[in-house]
């Protein structure tokens, strides 16, 4: 009898586990982030004391009448309670009279509620500071700054464009089409107009082989974002790298591009994994809160896509308790006869006609054209998943059984427990 090994993948607030013959397991692949900083506040303070490529915040604040700090919204696990007080203190240390506005970067998301602001920033900051929620559809909030390299209009929040000092906080993680999060993304998509975001996320750019996890060079989406940050005059960033428990591992502060590139290089050295091209790849979205819907789960699927051989099976453990995550996302997939039909239709959409959520259903259709995808969930309608050309299972064991039935009893399996935390390099398959 074959020896069995237990594999475990975060899902919702818990984990999905299953037993697998050891002879079929190619390996379990994780990022190699170190232990979190023993004192996260000191970690941020040290970064602010020695900024990369820029003067200290205190010096930048001197002589400025006002400053805007871009903060991520409720959908991003940025530890703002630790970062924001230090940014505020440094600005006022350099200039006690500076007028500060905190601008919440909602991008394409719904407005952040007061309760979510308190959870993110703390009651004291919410009560004391001036906070504005960005709305990319409110023309009164927006101003045009030019034309992106892609040809789309660059329209951003007026507060960000007209302040004398623009600062941003955020976090850096692998991103499935921008290469990495953080840095320039605070401006685009963070505080940009909706039509600017749509132009940047067009089908042509999403199709680019350079619009992939961990790739910045030649990435057309990244190029637009850099341009937007430059035109908005983003002067200083404070970005952190966090672990799976959302704890600060390392902080980077300074000039928008140099500090961000330093953080990306650090993360790339720890998150890069080499995975044999596998018949079945099991992954997840890191559990709650990033696996609450199918829309977000696509991010984890892209890690499995990079490791799975053509015709193989991707198994993703994602609670999806909020369902599909977007009506347009669901409808476009459900109404398409095949993933290829959807891809052909999207390819014909001009940059200036990009639809909301188009990039997400385009990427999922790309994955589905070459792979069967099984979603492991007990909290989401299996019927709805089937309508979206996805398969569904209630347990990881059930999903692995179905995957084995599809590709054979000798199928080799790779396990990537947290697909959103890694940068996958596929290597030649192992011998069976």
Cβ–Cβ under 8 Å, residues 175 and 181: yes
Q: Could you give the CA distance from residue 251 to residue 329 in angstroms, rounded to a whole number?
A: 35
Backbone φ, ψ for residue 316 (5° rounding):
-120, 125
| Tokens encoding 156 | 């951003």
The superfamily CATH assigns to domain 4-30+277-427 is LarA, C-terminal domain (3.90.226.30)
pLDDT of residue 37: 97
Cβ–Cβ under 8 Å, residues 156 and 142: yes
∠ CA 177-385-190, nearest 5°, is: 30
Secondary element (H or E) of residue 365: helix 358-370
**Catalytic residue check, 134:** no
pLDDT of residue 430: 53
| Tokens encoding 299 | 């991010």
Report pLDDT digits (tens) over 126-154: 999 999 999 999 999 999 999 998 888 99
Q: Could you give the CA distance from residue 228 to residue 191 in angstroms, rounded to a whole number?
A: 10
Query: Which residues, at least 6 apart from 252, have a Cβ–Cβ distance to it below 8 Å?
Result: 47, 52, 172, 237, 238, 239, 240, 241, 259, 260, 262, 263, 266
Q: Could you give the CA distance from residue 194 to residue 298 in angstroms, rounded to a whole number?
A: 21
Q: Could you give the CA distance from residue 147 to residue 154 in angstroms, rounded to a whole number?
A: 5
pLDDT of residue 429: 58
Return the CATH number of the domain spanning residue range 40-270: 3.40.50.11440
**Catalytic residue check, 382:** no
Instruction: Compute and round to an integer the Cα radius of gyration of the chain.
Output: 22
Task: Give me the tens of pLDDT residue by residue for the chain, a chain 432 residues long.
Answer: 579 999 999 999 999 999 999 999 999 999 999 999 999 999 999 999 999 999 999 999 999 999 999 999 887 889 999 999 999 999 999 999 999 999 999 988 889 999 999 999 999 999 999 999 999 999 999 999 999 988 889 999 999 999 999 999 999 999 999 999 999 999 999 999 999 999 999 999 999 999 999 999 999 999 999 999 999 999 999 999 999 788 999 999 999 999 999 999 999 999 999 999 999 999 999 998 789 999 999 999 999 999 999 999 999 999 999 999 999 999 999 999 999 999 999 999 998 889 989 999 999 999 999 999 999 999 999 999 999 999 999 999 999 999 999 999 999 999 999 999 999 986 755 555
Helix or strand or coil: residue 306? helix
pLDDT of residue 428: 58
Report pLDDT digits (tens) over 234-247: 999 999 999 978 89
Q: Could you give the CA distance from residue 174 to residue 259 in angstroms, rounded to a whole number?
A: 16
Q: Any idea which residue has 């089409």 for tokens?
A: 177
| Tokens encoding 343 | 């891809």
Of 134, 175, 371, 389, the active-site residue reads 175
Cβ–Cβ under 8 Å, residues 290 and 420: yes
Cβ–Cβ under 8 Å, residues 272 and 279: no
Backbone φ, ψ for residue 249 (5° rounding):
-100, -40
| Tokens encoding 221 | 């989406």
Q: Could you give the CA distance from residue 364 to residue 358 in angstroms, rounded to a whole number?
A: 10
Tell me the sheet residues that pair with 143: 156
Cβ–Cβ under 8 Å, residues 26 and 414: yes
pLDDT of residue 348: 95
Backbone φ, ψ for residue 222 (5° rounding):
-60, -40
By DSSP bridging, strand 153-157 and strand 391-393 are unpaired
Report pLDDT digits (tens) over 12-25: 999 999 999 999 99
Q: What is the DSSP letter of 191?
A: T
Query: Which residues, at least 6 apart from 236, have a Cβ–Cβ distance to it below 8 Å?
Result: 51, 54, 57, 60, 165, 166, 167, 168, 253, 254, 255, 256
DSSP string for 114-154: HHHHHHHH-HHHHHHSEEEE--TT-GGGEEEEEE-TTS-EE
User: What distances in angstroms separate CA 203 from CA 211, 229, 348, 419, one per listed residue?
Assistant: 11, 22, 8, 23
Domain spans in the chain, listed from the N-terminal domain onward = 4-30+277-427, 40-270
pLDDT of residue 109: 83
Spatial CA neighbour of 29 closest among 244, 373, 275, 268 = 275
């Amino acid at each position: 009898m074959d020896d069995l090994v237990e594999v475990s993948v975060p899902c919702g607030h818990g984990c999905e586990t299953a037993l697998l013959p050891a002879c079929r397991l190619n390996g379990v692949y994780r990022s190699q982030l170190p232990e979190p900083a023993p004192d996260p506040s000191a970690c941020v303070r040290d970064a602010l004391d020695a900024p990369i490529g820029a003067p200290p915040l205190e010096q930048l604040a001197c002589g400025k009448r006002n400053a805007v700090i871009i903060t991520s919204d409720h959908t991003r696990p940025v530890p703002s309670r630790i970062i924001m007080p230090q940014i505020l203190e440094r600005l006022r240390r350099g200039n006690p009279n500076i007028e500060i506005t905190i601008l919440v970067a909602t991008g394409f998301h719904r407005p952040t509620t007061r309760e979510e602001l308190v959870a993110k920033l703390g009651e004291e900051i919410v009560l004391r500071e001036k906070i504005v929620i960005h709305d990319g559809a409110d023309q009164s909030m927006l101003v045009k700054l030019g034309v992106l390299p892609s040809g789309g209009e660059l329209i951003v929040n007026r507060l960000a464009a007209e302040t004398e000092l623009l600062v941003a906080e955020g976090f850096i993680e692998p991103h499935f089409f921008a290469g990495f999060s953080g840095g320039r993304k605070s401006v685009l998509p963070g505080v940009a107009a909706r039509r600017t975001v749509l132009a940047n996320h067009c089908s042509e750019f999403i199709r680019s082989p350079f619009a992939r996890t961990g790739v910045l060079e030649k990435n057309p989406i990244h190029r637009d974002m850099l341009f937007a940050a430059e035109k908005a005059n983003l002067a200083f960033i404070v970005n952190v790298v966090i672990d799976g428990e959302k704890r600060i591992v390392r902080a980077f502060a300074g000039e928008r591009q140099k500090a961000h590139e330093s953080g990306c290089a650090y993360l790339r050295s720890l998150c890069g994994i080499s995975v044999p091209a596998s018949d079945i790849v099991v992954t997840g979205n890191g559990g709650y809160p990033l696996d609450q819907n199918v829309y977000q789960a696509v991010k984890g699927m892209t890690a499995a896509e990079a490791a799975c051989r053509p015709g193989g099976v991707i198994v993703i453990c994602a609670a999806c308790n909020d369902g599909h995550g977007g009506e347009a996302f669901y409808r476009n997939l459900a109404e398409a006869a095949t993933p290829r039909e959807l891809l052909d239709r999207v390819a014909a959409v001009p940059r200036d006609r990009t639809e909301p959520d188009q990039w997400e259903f385009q990427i999922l259709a790309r994955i589905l054209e070459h792979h069967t995808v099984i979603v492991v969930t007990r909290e989401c309608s299996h019927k709805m998943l089937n309508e979206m050309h996805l398969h569904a299972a209630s347990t990881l064991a059930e999903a692995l059984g179905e995957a084995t039935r599809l590709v054979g009893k000798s199928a080799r399996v790779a396990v990537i427990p947290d697909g959103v935390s890694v940068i996958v390099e596929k290597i030649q398959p192992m011998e069976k």
